Structures are given as C-alpha cells and as structure tokens.
Amino acid sequence: MNTKVNEGGRPTSFKSEYIELAFNYCLLGATDEQLADFFNVAKSTINLWKQKQPKFLDALKRGKTQADANVAHSLYKRATGYSHPDVHISNYQSEITKTEITKHYPPDTTACIFWLKNRQPKLWKDRVEVKEESVVRIIPWDELREISKKALEFADAEHERLIVGRAERLGIKIEYGNEED
C-alpha cells in the first residue's frame, strides 16, 4: 500500500495509481463529486489531494481540459456540418456488398444557437436586460393636497357615473336625500 503519513494526521488514502484513474475518468466527463464517489471518499478529500498531490491535480486539469476540447470540437463540427468516410453494407439475394461512401451531415441549427449563445453572449443571448432608473420627485405638501383633492373628486364623480349608469340599465330610479312631501 502506497500511503504517506501526514504531518500529525492519519495516513492518506491516496494511491499513486489514482493519478491515471482520475485522468481517464475526467476524460469521460467526471466532476469532482463523481471522482469522490468513484474513489469512495468525500469531495473535501479530493480537494485535499489536489492541494497535496500536484500530479493528481495536473491529471484532473489535463483530463477535464481534453474532454472539454473534444466536446467543443464535436459541437463545432455539428454546428458547421461535416462529412466523413463510411462503408455501406448491403445484402441482396444473400450476396453481401460493401461500398465505400462519404456521409454528409448538414449544420445543426440547435448546435449553432448553443455555440453562438456561449461564445458571443452579448450578440446572441435570449434575455433582454432592462435597466431601470428611478426618479424621485419631491412634491410640496400644498401641491400634494391639491392632487389628492382632485383625485378624490374624480373618484366620486366616476363612482356616481357608474351607479347612475347601472341604475338606468336596471330600470331603478335613484333618489337622494330626504324629500318632504
């Protein structure tokens, strides 16, 4: 077993073969959380190994960078369209024939959109950012009272208009106040 004793701590569970395993697992797209599960340790242990084991950290960086580059390359090819050689195999009347062909894939709109939104977000993002500016106007009390008075008068007149209109539609006669006979 390839264990080291930490200064004053318990022996590390890190093994030198973890470097290549981590690199390969990162090539498959593993995150630090998934690495922790794979090595049966806590994520904090992965972080500690990254600090204490420079070769382990380098393996993670190289694996993740290469995996990201492979995906970016594939996305780019998908967005721009591509061709590749292939072999078409057919069976006609029990006779198998192999024909070399070139397969063509047209550009994929979704891949184009994804690429552009991530590479040039200022030009291609969906969200429209709205900038609000607040203006505070201080109104003198006298002017505020006059505005309130006009608003109340308008509200009363509108209320009266609505009541009279409804009453007329319903055929109701409205009488106000005490009328003496």
Whether 170 has a pLDDT exceeding 80, the answer reads yes
Whether 13 has a pLDDT exceeding 70, the answer reads yes
The residue to which tokens 């609000």 are assigned: 132
Distance CA(171)–CA(173), nearest Å, equals 7
What are the angstrom distances between the C-alpha of 168 and each of 27, 37, 160, 162, 173?
A: 80, 78, 12, 10, 7
Whether 109 has a pLDDT exceeding 80, the answer reads yes
Whether 47 has a pLDDT exceeding 60, the answer reads yes
